[in-house]
Structures are given as structure tokens and as C-alpha cells.
Amino acid sequence: MVEVYHYPLIMLKRKIIGKSYDLMAKETRNLGLKLNVVQECNDVPTELFLIKHNNYVGFLPDQYPINDEDICKVEVVDTPHKYVISLAMLRNNDDIKTIDFFRKAK
């Protein structure tokens, strides 16, 4: 799980997801790390668009359907967070570090 904090993240805005944002930031600080949030957005479709076009990693609700074959979802293991965390990235991403990270996260 620690590897995720080294990648540029996109998250829903704090005003959208409220306590979940703060809880995630707190749990991250408890690990001695900081979220590398480079962009925030107002909704999941925008988040998916930016994941696809900016090569970000994003956290999505586990039950959210992804209808884009270019984006895959991976369940993150070994996390202090009490809810299920999934990551999404471009399916055809050729960045070696990102590919290695997703292999480790599985």
C-alpha cells in the first residue's frame, strides 16, 4: 500500500466525500506519509477521465462500474484503511514504475 503514495493521485474533493477524505489523509499521516494529490474533482466520471488522460492513480468506490476498457481497477491489499480501496489506471499504460506498482498492489 505504501507505494501508492508516491504516485500522482486524483481524488474527489473534500467537500464531495467529506469525512472519507479526512480519514484517508489521517491514516496516511499515521503511516508517516503524505497523500500526493495533484488534482481534485467533483465527480467520478471526471476522475476517470483524468485518470485516463493524465495517467493518474485514483481511488474509486468499489462498486462503481467502469465501462472504459482502457481503465482497470485493482484492489489494494495491506492497507490501514477500513474500507475497500481500489485503484484505477489506463489498461495500456506502458510506464514501467506504474505497471510494477499495480503488480505489487494486487
Note if the pTM is more than 0.85.
Answer: no
Element (H, E) at 9: strand 9-12
pLDDT tier for residue 4 given thresholds of 50, 70 and 90: confident
Nearest of 68, 65, 59, 72 to residue 13 by alpha carbon:
59
Give the residue with greater pLDDT, 82 vs 21: 21
Rounded Cα–Cα distance for residues 20 and 97 (Å): 28
Which CATH number applies to 2-105?
3.40.190
The answer to which of 20-24, 73-77, 80-84 has the lowest mean pLDDT is 80-84
Question: Is 19 in a helix, a strand, or coil?
Answer: helix
- CB-CB contact of 3 with 105 (8 Å): yes
Regarding predicted confidence, which is higher, 88 or 7?
A: 7
